[in-house]
């Protein structure tokens, strides 16, 4: 719905506290006014809306394949999108009255949207990737509206845009203005990171290798209660993951899994013996465990098997390998590690040991033919990265400096630092997310081109299914426009006006998106 | 942007260990939230079989079968105690458990009345083999006892229900424990209000403060002035509360022992009133001519007071509670100052240039109107801050400031002999990152210097959920379980509940219980519940 193309399933753990007392609140009250762009969100690159308007009726309106389109009735991705958008626009078919017998139309009606996939390969059965063409052109005029796109991915965005152009007149009739739109995203990677580990733990892969069950394409479900919160109700099964990936594909969304090592791995240890480093208290093991043990061959055997499996389960070209926030105290306490440090001439520099581990891991993952994303620390520590590595910048404060350094070294990068949506505060914080300019750092044009996008992160300490949706929407939508629309789309008042309508549209579509400010939606959320 | 100051994540290993510990299903009676005044229990436990579980009235009870409040409550609590049974799952087994009876006795038959400011909520609960005795002075106390009993029952992994041998004596520390919902800045569908009332009963809240109208919209459909909502609501058909809706809310609340306190805030916060009632608001002037905008209610016209008297007469007939909230906060004087008629009136009354005197004049008139209707007025603290000529039985409502300033205000108001209600530390619409429930929990409402008599004038506290950023999409997870932290502060003994870390695991369990009961309460921190929220 929001033209986000990547969804990160993160496997990590986090904590943070911040106290923030607001005593009196005084804020300029925003006043809603209709935008000349209606409710379009994110704003397309080029839009011309004319005064002329046409009626659409559920009885006569159809979305169809254009004759010349390279995708036809067999393209289920598009066919299901047609139905989805028809229902968004007119409500579900059940609510329609006598639609079949009654297919009369007024000459001023718009009766058809033709969808025309122009390139010979529509990519209908493929997966979206970081290089997918998402552009489209939409012409709404008599007698038919035409949506042209080289690939299905652009067509999906065009359908969303078309549905956003439809509005209700004062008598409740659906109308659309004659419109010409030419659209494409400013950035390729427009992501949302959801942190599942903490509240729903991906446990099924943890136990691989324990029983060498290789004929099973999937990882067995956890057999004990040790690893996941609960072995049946709190895990993702392979079927769940497949369902998520297909659901996302049908909406032009990539699913990028994150498996964060060597830190943030306490839960891995519960299912995989000897994977984690035993910490010592004096000369004896203390019984607790630290990061992944980087000195054992078995660690790398496990990782090789694990990532081979993962690379077949997740079709996307990229895997996120984490690599952030490694705590060295446990490694320091362990005599075997100390010995290894000596052998390798690492001295006392444990970041060298970390780099040693990451290097081996990256080589393993490279052999699966996948590209990888890593958190910025991996780059900061000077690990040798493949040229196509994507460095994920998350540390706030001087993220512009980091972007500058990463791109100067020739790596592509995505930005998350300003978009940590789990850090809530009172008031209209969407404006803060909206005002970010990702390319606002020192660097050449070549460097700027290496920024492929950004990600809104919603870490899970304080979030689960009870509050996820209203916390994410419409705040993440602010990030969506920054990543999709042209750089000069920065009018905050116009954004408020369009986003207010966009949030009511989400509510109507069943997404309980929270309000921007005192206001109302014609059809309030009733799912209480 | 320095959004991230601490690390992206810092591992808290002990928390994981802790969850696993919890998962063993160790049950403790401290699970009751808010904590009863006195509770003793033993490990001796009794199985409960829903097919042989009964609520009955004690033979000496003043209320017997046919008492609407308790009959309904028995049905409600049966489903809450045995959630699996009502969903028809898991009870085809052969064990013939002995019957278990909860015998309820009340000293007064107040089944058909409304809970009010002096209603007793005290109860005793004694659970032994095959029998529990619940005794209370009023049906409202019995409702609190039923809630406690429902929280004592727990379910083992194989589905069986148990309750431990327990003795409880309980009563609230404060008589007024409220939640404010703002239905003007966003319209809340009646369903959302009813759901909030359910959850309130689970935390033993007893006042629903309905901030029903304000500047942005006037959703209350008045019998006498239908134009107020026809022109002042966001939408005259879909975004209003009809008389039927209001009655439904009041009756739903009554069944749960909750008072409904209506607020019609004036003279400020009334922009929406002006749309349906001409000449009510003060015309603002720009130089010597009206600017076309309007300010607070016009305090100089007799028609204003005639209108208010008629409106409040209706309000007092619709809302049975003995209190009415009159607002009186945040009055902006600039419009009054600009208006030549108001200036002339100031001169005539000898108010000089002190517009607080004009506000005082207005509030006095309004308070007199409600007093004549036999209603106690509650007003926001501003009214006290401006002047002290208000009737002694008026209740002041503190909403401003940090602890030092609201403590000073508590001292000043109680010293002047007024009753007072504390809301300032519980502005729960002000969200921030982290476990802010701890701040709500550690409030000390009586931590101000004053005599015992002064302390007695603090009648309670209120959690406020103002509506700028809240509607039905996010109300429930934003309210719960954060409001429950305040609920324990207002109900329980402060000495027994001063340790916020001890409260954490109890509140965590209580939050899971809320989920089980269909209340979409958000997590306190990393962790999980046996029955997660599924309604996405």
Q: What is the ipTM of this complex?
A: 0.87
The answer, as to whether pTM is greater than 0.95, is no
Report the chain B residue with the minimal C-alpha distance to residue A30: B468
Q: How far is residue B263's CA from residue B325's CA, in Å, rounded to a whole number?
A: 4
Which of these, A442, A318, A327, A459, lies nearest to A391 by C-alpha position? A318
H or E element, residue A446: helix A445-449
Report the chain B residue with the minimal C-alpha distance to residue A31: B216
> Where residue A270 falls among pLDDT bands split at 50, 70, 90?
confident
- What are the φ/ψ torsions at residue A305 (nearest 5 degrees)? -65, -45
Instruction: Answer yes or no: is pLDDT of A209 > 50.
Output: no
- Would you state the pLDDT for residue A227? 40
Parallel, antiparallel or unpaired: strands B154-155 and B161-170: antiparallel
Task: Note whether B220 and B240 are within 8 A (CB).
Answer: yes
The helix/strand/coil state of A412 is strand
Q: How far is residue B177's CA from residue B483's CA, in Å, rounded to a whole number?
A: 11
Q: Going by C-beta distance under 8 Å and a sequence separation of 6 or more, which residues neighbour residue B67?
A: B57, B109, B111, B139
**Gap from B397 CA to chain A (nearest CA, Å):** 16
Supply the CATH classification number for the domain B38-83+97-170: 3.30.379.10
Report the chain A residue with the minimal C-alpha distance to residue B430: A426
Report percent pLDDT > 90 for chain A.
68
- Would you state the pLDDT for residue A3? 57
- Among A246, A325, A508, A514, the active-site one is A325
- Would you state the pLDDT for residue B387? 76
Q: Which residue has the higher pLDDT, A528 or A455?
A: A455
Task: Note whether B253 and B264 are within 8 A (CB).
Answer: no
Which of these, B464, B445, B449, lies nearest to B207 by C-alpha position? B464
Using a CB-CB distance cutoff of 8 angstroms, which residues of chain A are in contact with residue B2? 396-397
Instruction: Answer yes or no: is pLDDT of A24 > 90.
Output: no
Secondary structure E strands in A206-325: 254-257, 276-281, 284-292, 318-320
Judged by CB atoms closer than 8 Å, whether chains meet at B432 and A526 is answered as: no
Judged by CB atoms closer than 8 Å, whether chains meet at A420 and B4 is answered as: yes
- Would you state the pLDDT for residue B22? 39
Using a CB-CB distance cutoff of 8 angstroms, which residues of chain B are in contact with residue A397? 1-2, 4
**Gap from B278 CA to chain A (nearest CA, Å):** 23
Task: Note whether B321 and B116 are within 8 A (CB).
Answer: yes
Nearest to A528 among B195, B432, B470 (CB): B195
Nearest to B471 among A263, A417, A515 (CB): A515
- Would you state the pLDDT for residue A385? 86
Give B342: exposed, middle or buried? Use CB within 10 Å, 0-12, 13-18, 19+: buried
- What are the φ/ψ torsions at residue B46 (nearest 5 degrees)? -125, 135
Helices (DSSP H) in A108-198: which residue ranges?
Answer: 152-165
- Would you state the pLDDT for residue A215? 29
Report the chain A residue with the minimal C-alpha distance to residue B434: A17
**Gap from B100 CA to chain A (nearest CA, Å):** 32
- Would you state the pLDDT for residue A260? 87
Optimal mutation site among B235, B468, B512, interface A, most CBs of chain A within 10 A: B468
Q: How far is residue B516's CA from residue B530's CA, in Å, rounded to a whole number?
A: 9
Judged by CB atoms closer than 8 Å, whether chains meet at A424 and B433 is answered as: yes
Q: How far is residue A473's CA from residue A496's CA, in Å, rounded to a whole number?
A: 14
**Correct CATH for B176-522 of 3.40.50.620, 3.30.70.20, 3.90.550.10, 3.20.20.80:** 3.20.20.80
**Gap from B339 CA to chain A (nearest CA, Å):** 24
Using a CB-CB distance cutoff of 8 angstroms, which residues of chain A are in contact with residue B517? none
Nearest to B467 among A24, A396, A518 (CB): A518
Tokens 């890593």 belong to A374
Judged by CB atoms closer than 8 Å, whether chains meet at B528 and A19 is answered as: no
Judged by CB atoms closer than 8 Å, whether chains meet at B535 and A527 is answered as: yes
Using a CB-CB distance cutoff of 8 angstroms, which residues of chain B are in contact with residue A320? none
> Where residue A236 falls among pLDDT bands split at 50, 70, 90?
confident
C-alpha count within 13 angstroms, C-beta hemisphere, residue A280: 11
> Where residue A196 falls among pLDDT bands split at 50, 70, 90?
low
Fold agreement (B38-83+97-170, B176-522):
no
Report the chain B residue with the minimal C-alpha distance to residue A234: B528
Report the chain A residue with the minimal C-alpha distance to residue B234: A520
> Cα B319–B396–B137 angle (5° rounding)?
55
- Among B44, B65, B330, B532, the active-site one is B330
> Cα A53–A54–A55 angle (5° rounding)?
130
Using a CB-CB distance cutoff of 8 angstroms, which residues of chain A are in contact with residue B435? 17, 462
Judged by CB atoms closer than 8 Å, whether chains meet at B434 and A19 is answered as: yes
Which of these, B170, B107, B163, B166, lies nearest to B138 by C-alpha position? B107
Task: Note whether A504 and A27 are within 8 A (CB).
Answer: no
Report the chain B residue with the minimal C-alpha distance to residue A421: B3
Using a CB-CB distance cutoff of 8 angstroms, which residues of chain A are in contact with residue B476? 466, 528
Nearest to B1 among A267, A396, A471 (CB): A396
Using a CB-CB distance cutoff of 8 angstroms, which residues of chain A are in contact with residue B524? 462
**Gap from B277 CA to chain A (nearest CA, Å):** 22
Using a CB-CB distance cutoff of 8 angstroms, which residues of chain A are in contact with residue B521? 466
Judged by CB atoms closer than 8 Å, whether chains meet at A16 and B469 is answered as: no
Judged by CB atoms closer than 8 Å, whether chains meet at B473 and A525 is answered as: yes
Q: Where are the domains of chain B?
A: 38-83+97-170, 176-522
Judged by CB atoms closer than 8 Å, whether chains meet at A467 and B520 is answered as: yes
Q: What is the CA radius of gyration of chain A?
A: 25
- Would you state the pLDDT for residue A45? 98
Optimal mutation site among A12, A15, A516, interface B, most CBs of chain B within 10 A: A15
Q: For A220-229, A366-375, A492-501, B450-459, which range has the lowest pLDDT when averaged over its residues? A: A220-229
Using a CB-CB distance cutoff of 8 angstroms, which residues of chain B are in contact with residue A507? 473
Nearest to A466 among B186, B526, B533 (CB): B533
**Gap from B326 CA to chain A (nearest CA, Å):** 21
Instruction: Answer yes or no: is pLDDT of A472 > 50.
Output: yes
Size of interface A-B (CB pairs under 8 A): 229
Judged by CB atoms closer than 8 Å, whether chains meet at A17 and B435 is answered as: yes
Judged by CB atoms closer than 8 Å, whether chains meet at A19 and B432 is answered as: yes
Report the chain B residue with the minimal C-alpha distance to residue A260: B9
Instruction: Answer yes or no: is pLDDT of A107 > 90.
Output: no
Judged by CB atoms closer than 8 Å, whether chains meet at A514 and B470 is answered as: yes
> Where residue A201 falls among pLDDT bands split at 50, 70, 90?
very low
**Ranges in chain B, pLDDT < 70:** 1-30, 86-97, 388, 535-536
- Would you state the pLDDT for residue A278? 94
**Gap from A516 CA to chain B (nearest CA, Å):** 6
- Would you state the pLDDT for residue B441? 98
Q: Which residue has the higher pLDDT, A465 or B486?
A: B486
Instruction: Give catalytic status of residue A134 as yes or no.
Output: no
- Would you state the pLDDT for residue B96? 58
Nearest to A424 among B12, B432, B532 (CB): B432
**Gap from A158 CA to chain B (nearest CA, Å):** 27
Optimal mutation site among A20, A32, A515, interface B, most CBs of chain B within 10 A: A515
């Amino acid at each position: 719905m929001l033209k986000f193309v990547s969804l990160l399933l993160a496997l990590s753990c986090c904590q943070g506290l911040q106290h923030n007392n607001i005593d009196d609140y005084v804020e300029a009250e925003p006043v809603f006014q209709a935008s000349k762009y209606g409710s379009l969100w994110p704003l397309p690159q080029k839009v011309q809306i004319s005064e002329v308007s046409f009626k659409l009726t559920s009885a006569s309106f159809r979305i169809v394949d254009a004759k010349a389109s390279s995708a036809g009735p067999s393209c289920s991705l598009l066919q299901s999108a047609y139905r989805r958008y028809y229902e968004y626009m007119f409500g579900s078919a059940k609510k329609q009255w006598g639609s079949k017998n009654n297919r009369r139309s007024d000459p001023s009606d718009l009766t058809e949207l033709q969808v025309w996939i122009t390139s010979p390969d529509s990519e209908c059965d493929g997966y979206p990737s970081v290089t997918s063409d998402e552009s489209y052109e939409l012409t709404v005029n008599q007698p038919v509206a035409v949506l042209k796109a080289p690939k299905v991915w652009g067509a999906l965005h065009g359908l969303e845009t078309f549905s956003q152009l439809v509005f209700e007149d004062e008598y409740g009739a659906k109308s659309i203005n004659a419109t010409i739109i030419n659209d494409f995203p400013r950035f390729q990677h427009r992501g949302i990171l959801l942190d599942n580990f903490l509240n729903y733990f991906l446990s099924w892969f943890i136990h691989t290798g324990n029983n060498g069950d290789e004929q099973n394409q999937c990882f067995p479900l956890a057999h004990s209660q040790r690893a996941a919160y609960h072995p049946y109700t709190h895990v993702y099964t392979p079927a769940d993951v497949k369902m998520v990936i297909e659901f996302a594909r049908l909406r032009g969304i990539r699913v990028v899994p994150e498996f964060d090592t060597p830190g943030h791995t306490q839960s891995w240890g519960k299912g995989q013996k000897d994977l984690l480093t035993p910490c010592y208290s004096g000369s004896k093991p203390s019984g607790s465990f630290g990061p992944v043990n980087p000195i054992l061959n078995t660690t790398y055997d496990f990782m090789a098997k694990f990532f081979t499996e993962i690379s077949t389960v997740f079709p996307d070209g990229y895997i996120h390998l984490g690599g952030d926030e490694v705590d060295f105290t446990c490694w320091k306490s362990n005599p075997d590690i100390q010995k290894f440090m000596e052998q390798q001439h690492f001295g006392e520099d444990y970041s060298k040991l970390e780099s040693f581990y990451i290097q081996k891991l990256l080589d393993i993952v490279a052999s699966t033919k996948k590209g990888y994303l890593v958190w910025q620390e991996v780059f900061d520590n000077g690990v040798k990265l493949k040229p196509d590595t994507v460095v994920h910048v998350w540390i706030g404060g001087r993220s512009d400096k980091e972007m500058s350094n990463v791109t100067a070294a020739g790596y592509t990068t995505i930005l998350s630092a300003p978009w940590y949506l789990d850090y809530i505060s009172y008031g209209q914080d969407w404006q803060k997310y909206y005002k970010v300019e990702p390319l606002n750092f020192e660097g050449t044009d070549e460097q700027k081109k290496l920024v492929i996008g950004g990600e809104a992160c919603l870490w899970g300490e304080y979030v689960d299914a009870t509050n996820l949706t209203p916390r994410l929407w419409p705040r993440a939508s602010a990030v969506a426009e920054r990543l999709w629309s042209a750089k000069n789309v920065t009018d905050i008042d116009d954004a408020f006006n369009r986003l207010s309508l966009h949030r009511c549209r989400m509510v109507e579509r069943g997404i309980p998106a929270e309000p921007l400010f005192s206001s109302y939606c014609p059809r309030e959320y009733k799912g209480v | 942007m320095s959004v991230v100051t601490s690390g992206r994540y810092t591992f808290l290993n002990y928390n994981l260990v802790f969850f696993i510990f919890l998962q063993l299903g160790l049950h403790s009676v401290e699970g009751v939230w808010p904590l009863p005044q006195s509770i003793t229990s033993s490990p001796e436990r009794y199985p409960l079989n829903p097919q042989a579980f009964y609520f009955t009235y004690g033979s000496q009870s003043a209320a017997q079968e046919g008492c609407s409040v308790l009959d309904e409550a028995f049905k409600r609590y049966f489903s809450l105690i045995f959630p699996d049974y009502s969903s028809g799952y898991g009870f085809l087994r052969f064990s013939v458990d002995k019957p278990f009876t909860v015998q309820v006795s009340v000293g007064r038959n107040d089944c058909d009345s409304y809970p009010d400011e002096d209603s007793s909520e005290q109860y005793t609960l004694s659970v032994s083999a095959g029998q529990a005795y619940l005794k209370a002075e009023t049906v409202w106390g019995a409702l609190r006892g039923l809630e406690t009993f429902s929280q004592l029952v727990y379910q083992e992994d194989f589905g069986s229900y148990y309750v431990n041998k327990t003795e409880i004596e309980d009563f609230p520390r404060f008589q007024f424990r409220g939640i404010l919902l703002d239905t003007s800045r966003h319209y809340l569908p009646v369903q959302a209000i009813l759901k909030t009332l359910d959850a309130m009963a689970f935390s033993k809240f007893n006042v629903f403060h309905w901030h029903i109208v304000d500047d942005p919209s006037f959703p209350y459909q008045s019998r006498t002035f239908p134009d107020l909502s026809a022109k002042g609501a966001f939408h005259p058909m879909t975004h209003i509360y009809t008389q039927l809706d209001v009655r439904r809310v009041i009756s739903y609340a009554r069944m749960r022992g909750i008072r409904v306190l209506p607020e019609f805030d004036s003279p400020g916060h009334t922009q929406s009133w002006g749309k349906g009632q001409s000449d009510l608001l003060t015309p603002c002037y720009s130089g010597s001519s009206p600017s076309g905008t309007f300010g607070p209610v016009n305090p100089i016209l007799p028609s204003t007071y005639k209108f208010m008297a008629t409106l409040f007469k209706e309000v007092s007939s619709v809302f049975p509670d003995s209190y009415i909230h009159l607002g009186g906060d945040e009055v902006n004087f600039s419009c009054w100052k600009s208006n030549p008629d108001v200036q002339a009136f100031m001169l005539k009354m000898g108010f000089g240039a002190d517009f607080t005197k004009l506000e005082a004049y207005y509030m006095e008139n309004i308070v007199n109107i409600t007093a004549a209707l036999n209603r106690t007025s509650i007003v926001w603290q501003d009214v006290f801050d401006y002047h002290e000529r208000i009737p002694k039985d008026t209740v002041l409502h503190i909403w401003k400031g940090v602890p030092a300033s609201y403590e000073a205000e508590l001292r000043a108001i109680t010293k002047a002999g007024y009753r007072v209600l504390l809301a300032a530390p519980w502005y729960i619409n002000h969200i921030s990152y982290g476990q802010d429930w701890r701040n709500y929990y550690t409030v000390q409402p009586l931590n101000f210097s004053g005599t015992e008599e002064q302390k007695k004038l603090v009648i309670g506290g209120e959690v406020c959920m103002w509506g700028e950023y809240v509607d039905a999409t996010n109300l429930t997870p934003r309210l719960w379980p954060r409001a429950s932290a305040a609920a324990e502060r207002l109900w329980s003994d402060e000495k027994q509940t001063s340790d916020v870390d001890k409260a954490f695991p109890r509140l965590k369990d209580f939050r899971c219980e809320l989920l089980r009961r269909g209340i979409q309460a958000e997590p306190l921190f990393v962790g999980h519940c046996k029955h997660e929220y599924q309604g996405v």
